[in-house]
Copies of this chain bind each other. A is one copy, B any other.
Amino acid sequence: MKNRLYFNVNDRQTEDKTALFSAIKEERLHIGYYNLPEQNIEDISAYTQVFDGNIENIVVLGIGGSSLGARAIYEFLKPVKAPTRKLFFFESTDPLNIMDLLSKIDIEKSHFLIISKSGSTVETISIFKYLYAKHQDVSMYTFITDEGSALDKFATQIGSKTFYLPAEVGGRFSVLSVVGLLPLALCGVDITALLKGANKVKESFFNDGYLKESLLNKAMFYAKYHTTYNINCVFAYSETLRYFSEWYVQLWGESLGKKQKNSAFNVGVTPIGLIGPKDQHSFLQLIVEGTRDKSVTFIKIEDFQSELTVPNITLPYLESLDTLNGITFHDLINMQCDSVIEALQLEGDIPLDEIIIERVDEESMGALIYYYELLTSLVGQLINVNTYNQPGVESGKIILKKKLEKNR
């Protein structure tokens, strides 16, 4: 993984960088996600190895941090490595969506993972009730929740298997815990390689490797100019990264959109996930000519491991497009990305950087995930917010609870 910054890095900030690095090292002592790359995965591997071979579908009932991470990784890998089981996600109370998903899965050949950190997520429990009323075979279900939650107690009572979230790992930072690893392992994803990729970034950052400077410089720039560049676009040049961008939006938005610790001022940087080249025909115009409120991070894949090539044919009247002849689509898409980067550089006032991941595999994705988790922690530290809570979503939940009680 490489990361090239195309904005001005101020060298006079050495002391600030040292302070930031110390703060993160301190945070690492009590925030759980930092150490996930080195976790013991024996439980998950053992469970996966003896898992019923007749099961063809793994169905996750979960929402937000309980689904976005696993989905990002599953969808990333799917085009290059056929999953051993299909992974489905129930993550909406939309009745049309529930019926549509139910029509796609054979219940007899499906196993359900009920994932809720708190154990009382309305969406997840309402759908679980629907299923459980029809299918009370407890071997159909596995639960992932906080130890001691109401859901844990329920699962224990009915005799279903339960996995626990590790301590101090929030939902949106939980993809590299059992929350993401269990569904992925059951679908044939190499979770050891995933963690290895994350660990490489961790080592590079904490042990003075290449990514340390890059991450610190980038975080300091984003934080310093967060009121000017109040939007961060991740422009990923591959359809495989489509769900990664949804995971990034949750991570960034929910972690950094906060009241500041001392002032209670509303701050935050708004995340936008874009996919190239498609969004060259959509959002790009706004980046080039719109308000100067956006930084842009391009993500490229160094090697698509594909020889798919535009054939060497000339079409009458379309001779001007013969320049495409003989080029691999791999080269074409990366050339498209480079062209947009160069075009934006000409504007001169849009902060740009570029992340290059090696290929579409577990290790590359593990690295990318850990890179973004670190970046989020760094920016959160600098803009002085609690990166790991989400108090803003509570009032809507309380209003819903009252409505539901009144409705009875």
Contact = CB atoms under 8 A, between A and B. Distances in A.
Interface of A: 63-65, 68, 78-80, 91-100, 119-120, 122-123, 125-126, 129-130, 132-133, 150-151, 153-154, 157-158, 171-172, 227, 230-231, 237-240, 246, 249-250, 253-254, 256-259, 266-268, 270, 272, 275, 277-278, 280-294, 304, 306, 308, 310-311, 313, 315-318, 320-321, 323-333, 335-336, 338-340, 342-344, 346, 360, 390-393, 395-397, 399-401, 403-405, 407-408
B150 A317 contact: yes
Interface of A: prevailing SS: helix
Q: How many copies of this kind of chain does the complex include? A: 2
A153 B267 CA distance: 55
A316 to B, nearest CB: 5
A372 to B, nearest CB: 14
A313 B122 CA distance: 15
Given A259-B289, A290-B257, A403-B338, A239 B94 contact: yes
Contacts of A331: 407
Contact of A308 (B95, B227, B329, B339): B95
9 contacts: A93-B333, A95-B330, A99-B308, A129-B321, A154-B316, A253-B282, A258-B289, A284-B396, A339-B396
B79 A120 contact: no
A230 B403 CA distance: 33
Nearest to A63: B281
A191 to B, nearest CB: 21
A315 B129 contact: yes
B399 A311 contact: no
A150 B396 contact: no
A333 B404 contact: no
A283 B306 contact: no
B395 A277 contact: no
Contacts of A346: 395
A392 B285 contact: yes
Given A315-B129, A399-B339, A400-B335, A408 B323 contact: yes
Contacts of A172: 282
Given A257-B289, A311-B130, A278 B399 contact: no
